Amino acid sequence: MLEFTPLTFKQAQRYTKLYEKSRNKSFDCTFTSMWTNKDTYQYELAFDKDLCWVRYHEQDKVYYRLPVGNLDNCDWKHIIRDCFPANAEIKSVLAPLALEIHLACRDMVRLREEPKSTEYLYDVDKQINLPGMRYHIKKMQAKFFLHNYDYAYQSLTMANVEQVIDFHKKLFQYKKVEPFVEEQNKTILKILKNWHLFKTLIKGNVLKLDGEIIGYAVGEAVDKDNVFMYFSNASSNWKGAIQANDLLFLEQYYNCKYLNTGADKGIPGLRRLKQEYSPEITLMKKYHIRKQD
């Protein structure tokens, strides 16, 4: 019998090591994503051998995630039949695994796509080198900043995190007030105000000009191929600062293949931002699996 306990930061390292081995690397399944939403969804974890099981609560219902860990050569019939309760609903399953489970357990599960959970992936090499005419404007803006300003690019640390928080608050004062912007604001502040916890789990950087912070970015390489960007913000008062901020952050992950910025959650404003980020996008579909009993 699995023993679920509320998610706490003490579980971070153990969970993250198992997540690195997982084939279901969904953006909303990272420890960082779950921790920032723990008050809303009341995440619970259960560690069992080499896997971690996840469940959470939404609108008075209990949902599950696929176990985190090495899912190669899984006996999906055993996992679906014996490890999930009757009529369990498993969310945020990446398309390849969802189809694999459906083939193995066709008479035991029902699949449906989660269009609001589709994740946006970008080619890291192209985001760094910005080749061809499709990337020309973005490249010229980044080059203008990098060639014309005496900037400094530093790590986000306990020594400068309060300055980043101050900059962030000033920056968001002038942003259009939409529900998703306010939600982003709360998420960013949660991470920054708890940087003493996150500093060993994820990476942050700060863009400075004349000693003043004008940008910052936070993300993590979840494995050798994928880097997740949780947020990246810079002032538009300096030409090219926004584009340069993204570029400088990604140059640290030049060995990775894909940049993942998460899902648009069906929010038009967020969808527009993700579509405008790059002319070339790969959409990673996710599925909702319901156990049939």
Position 152 pLDDT exceeds 70: yes
> In the chain, pLDDT over 70 holds for what percent of residues?
98
Query: Are 141 and 17 within one domain?
Result: no
Band (204; pLDDT cuts 50, 70, 90): very high
User: Does 45 fall in a domain?
Assistant: yes
Q: How far apart, in whole angstroms, are the C-alpha atoms of residue 113 and residue 290?
A: 11
Q: How does pLDDT run across 103-143, given as a tens digit for each residue?
A: 999 999 999 999 999 999 999 999 999 999 999 999 999 99
Check whether residue 19 and residue 151 sit in a common domain.
Answer: no
Indicate whether 219 belongs to any domain: yes
Q: Which residues of 8-31 are buried (b: 16+ CB within 10 A; e: fewer)?
A: eeebbeebbebbeebebbbbbbbb
Say if residue 195's pLDDT is above 90.
yes
Helix and strand element counts for the chain (H, E): 12, 14
How many Å apart are CA 256 and CA 261, to the nearest integer?
14
Residue keyed to tokens 């619970």: 44
Both 145 and 259 in one domain: the answer is yes
Q: 214 in a domain, yes or no? A: yes
Is the pLDDT higher at 153 or at 279?
Answer: 153
Residues 63 and 159 in one domain: no
pLDDT tens-digit series, residues 52-107: 999 999 989 999 999 999 999 889 999 999 999 999 999 999 999 999 999 999 99
- DSSP E strands: which ranges in the chain? 5-6, 44-48, 51-58, 61-69, 89-94, 109-113, 119-123, 151-155, 203-209, 212-221, 226-234, 258-263, 282-284, 286-291
Q: Which domain holds residue 229?
A: 119-263
102 & 128 share domain: no
Query: Cα separations (Å) of 102 from 83, 85, 123, 140?
Result: 16, 18, 29, 47
Mean predicted lDDT score pLDDT of the chain: 94
Structural domain tally of the chain? 2
- CATH of residue 52's domain is 3.40.630.30
b or e along 66-89 (b: 16 or more beta carbons within 10 Å of the residue's beta carbon)?
Answer: bbbbebeebebeebbeeebeeebe
Q: Supply the pTM of this predicted model.
A: 0.93
Tell me: the pLDDT tens digits for 6-34? Answer: 999 999 999 999 999 999 999 999 999 99
Same-domain check for residues 128 and 250: yes
CA-CA-CA-CA torsion sign (28, 30, 32, 36): positive
Are 19 and 101 in the same domain?
yes
- Kindly state whether residue 62 falls inside one of the protein's structural domains: yes
Question: What percentage of the chain exceeds 90 in pLDDT?
Answer: 89
Structure confidence at residue 176 as a pLDDT band (50, 70, 90) = low
pLDDT value of position 154:
97
